[in-house]
Copies of this chain bind each other. A is one copy, B any other.
Amino acid sequence: MVDMTDGEPLGVAVVGAGYWGPNLVRNFRNAREWTLVAVVDLDLARAREVIGGSTDVLATNDLDEVLARDDVDAVAIATPARTHRGLVEQALRAGKHVLVEKPLADDVESGRSMVEAARANDLVLMADHTYCYTPVVQKIRELVEDGSLGEILFVDSVRINLGLVQPDVDVFWDLAPHDLSILDFVLPGGLRPTGVAAHGSDPLGAGKACVGYLTLPLEGGAMAHVHVNWLSPTKIRQMVIGGSRRTLVWDDLNPQQRLSVFDRGVDLVQQSVDIADRAAATISYRLGDTWAPALPEYEALSRMVGEFAGAIREGRTPRTDGAAGLRVLSVLEAAQTSLRARGALVEVAAETPTLELIR
């Protein structure tokens, strides 16, 4: 069903015309690699509204009809998390590649089932970790991969804001998926903490955590930490990734210098012979230049839909595949457990290993 010819666009249907769906619709429409075939929503009028005046695209509330079509190669799911598993597995069974909003599902078991279903059917399952396709996160991944930072020593991420207190999820499920999906994308080997400790508080009595902290010890002694907060009067979106060679600071609210790379840090320069002198003898400080790489300008979502097409055409795992979505989900679920255990460090569910798709 998938046309492997580069020239022919792939057909896609977007399922869910709520908050995020229209962004997907716009980007699939603008992409050379894609033809938008249909928009599916239980609310047919809403589907029509999202499509606008055009008559080329089908508006429907009948998913079965859409999945039966030959000109639909892939489906993008933008519905609430609790519906993901059913819709994704239905689409996979119909032989469609699937892109799914984050979080992948509302529990790890569902997520794992979805990942296995895609694998069994030899189809692409991709998580829409949009932030990973921004120019700045692409650059950060590059800097980690090419060794500019050296070994990762610590990660500190802050995402705070006077935010909309959500009716159905707490501040971890609302905000932390951003931080976690970015960490999964940039850390060598993905996000595989050796445990998760979560501390949250609900000082308003809203019935869920509005302020939260995640601690994620990583292999090799590093630690990642995430601060999410709905009650902060000021908005901060900042991530620091400390490395043995350099440290980067990403300040997303400073468009004039979003990304800074500091050649500053502490080194353990030598092993002292005299054990007693160790600390004194072996510490040195680097106080070098700061560098702010220029970042290209493009819309993250357009790059994301391009990656989805590329993975399908080339029969390969996309950069943010179902397994990535599952790793993020596993951390969120572990955090939930930790929260109930008063912040105790809990293990993250064992992961289904990532396998390359083979045709």
- Chain A interface (Cβ within 8 Å of chain B)? 52-53, 151, 153-154, 156, 162, 165-167, 195, 197, 199-208, 210-211, 213, 215, 217, 220-223, 225, 227, 229-235, 240, 242, 244, 247, 249, 256-257, 260, 262-268, 278-280, 283, 285, 287-294, 342-345
Contacts and interface: CB of A to CB of B under 8 A. Distances in A.
| Number of identical monomers bound together in the oligomeric complex | 4
A228 to B, nearest CB: 11
A206 B240 contact: no
Given A156-B211, A205-B221, A207-B279, 6 more contacts: A153-B203, A156-B232, A197-B199, A199-B223, A203-B220, A290-B294
Per DSSP, chain A at the interface is strand
Contacts of A256: 234-235
23 contacts: A52-B53, A153-B231, A154-B203, A154-B211, A167-B279, A197-B343, A199-B223, A199-B225, A204-B244, A204-B267, A206-B268, A213-B213, A213-B215, A213-B225, A231-B265, A233-B264, A235-B256, A263-B294, A289-B291, A289-B292, A290-B292, A291-B291, A344-B344
Contact of A156 (B153, B229, B264): B229
A268 B199 contact: no
Nearest to A290: B292
Given A278-B207, A343-B345, A345-B342, A154 B291 contact: no
A358 B260 CA distance: 49
B288 A294 contact: yes
Q: Lowest 9 A-B CB distances belong to which pairs? A: A233-B262, A53-B53, A153-B203, A201-B223, A290-B292, A167-B279, A233-B264, A199-B215, A233-B247
Contacts of A266: 162, 165, 204, 210, 230-231
Given A265-B233, A285-B162, A257 B202 contact: no
Contacts of A230: 266
B229 A201 contact: no
A230 to B, nearest CB: 7
